Amino acid sequence: MKRFGTLFGREVSRTLKQPLAYVVLFFFLILTGINFQAGVLAMNAEAGTTTSVEAFFNSLLFWFPFLLVFPLLTMRLFSEEYKLGTIETLMTAPVGDAEVVLAKFFGALVFYAVLWLPSLLYFGAFWWVTGQAPVEAPGSILGAYAMLALVGAFYISLGCLASALTDNQIVAGISAFALLCMMFFLGILWFFFPMTSPALQSLAYYFSTIQHMADFSRGIFDSRPVVFYTSFTSFTLFLTYHALQYRRWRA
């Protein structure tokens, strides 16, 4: 892991130097801004118990850009290197395959964090304008952002895997989207198993990202999703590492 820092620095600068990053950032901020405003307007319209954090993290307008951003973030990670052939110069430098995978993963994670950082301003602005705290308990906002990081890491790892499998960025993007939609909509099954079968329901809860976010943004901490996302992220990165090696064995 001697060269991880160098690789990681290169990944971050590579992401931040491409115009696509700013296009994504621009539209992402517009969509999340609209989402925040919609939440505040809804709270104005009628009295309720939801906080602005809950309203922000649990609406359709939140999930839509949330899911859309991962393929754009990850599709070029490996595919571009395959296409340009730079994977050959990269992998003949004295760096391990695992270092390369981790550097790319954390590089994408940094940009993901850059996308979400401005949203903290929304809650700051809310506090400043209304004089009310956006949450009743600090655990709520911590929980929401922790869940954002956990789910984000998992979906980014899925994107890494898709990108490591093909030299076509479009194919990588679409397969990443398909994979994460599969994971995401598997979680929606939770709503189709109401109280009928407790065993099935508790299994479905593991996959229900929407439910995890609803819980965490209310400040409810549950260790199950934490274990679920960290272990799935590690497993997917492990698969990515093998996909990278497999391409060389075959190439």
Partner 1 sequence: MIKVEKLTKRYGGITAVDEISFEVGKGEITGFLGPNGAGKSTTMRMLACYLPPTSGRAQVAGYDVFADSIRAREHIGYMPENVPLPPDMRVREYLAYRAKLKGVPGRRVKERVGDVTELCNLEGVDHKFIGALSKGYRQRVGLADAMVHEPDLLILDEPTIGLDPNQIRQVRTLIKNLSRHHTILLSTHILPEVEMVCSRVIIINGGKIEAVGTPETLRETLQDRGRTRLEARVGDTSAAVKKLKALDGVREVDCSEGKEWNTFLLHVEADVREKVFVLAKAEGWAVRELSRRAVSLEEVFVEVTHHEEI
Question: In angstroms, rounded to a whole number, what is the distance separating the alpha carbons of residues 149 and 36?
Answer: 19
Tell me which residue has tokens 């990278």.
Answer: 244
Instruction: Provide the minimum distance between the beta carbon of 80 and partner 1 in the complex, in angstroms, as a whole number.
Output: 9
Pick from 45, 46, 94, 129: which binds partner 1 (CB under 8 A)? Answer: 94
Site for partner 1 in 7-46 (CB under 8 A): 7, 10, 14, 17-18
Instruction: Provide the minimum distance between the beta carbon of 110 and partner 1 in the complex, in angstroms, as a whole number.
Output: 17
Residue pair 105/157 in contact (Cβ under 8 Å)? The answer is: yes
Structure tokens at 148: 């954002």
Residue 240, CB half-sphere, CA atoms under 13 Å: how many?
Answer: 32
Q: Please give the size of the binding site for partner 1, defined by CB under 8 A.
A: 24
DSSP class of residue 136 equals S
Pure H helices in the chain: 4-17, 19-45, 52-57, 60-74, 76-84, 86-91, 97-130, 138-165, 169-188, 198-207, 209-216, 223-250
- Residue nearer to partner 1 on the CB measure, 94 or 198: 94
Site for partner 1 in 187-226 (CB under 8 A): none
Residue pair 38/45 in contact (Cβ under 8 Å)? The answer is: no
Segment contacting partner 1 by CB under 8 A, of 83-91, 111-119, 139-147, 220-228: 83-91
Pick from 1, 23, 30, 89: which binds partner 1 (CB under 8 A)? Answer: 89
User: If binding is defined by CB under 8 A, does position 132 make contact with partner 1?
Assistant: no
User: If binding is defined by CB under 8 A, does position 242 make contact with partner 1?
Assistant: no
Pick from 26, 30, 41, 86: which binds partner 1 (CB under 8 A)? Answer: 86
> Where do contacts with partner 1 occur on this chain (CB under 8 A)?
2-3, 6-7, 10, 14, 17-18, 84-89, 91-96, 248-251
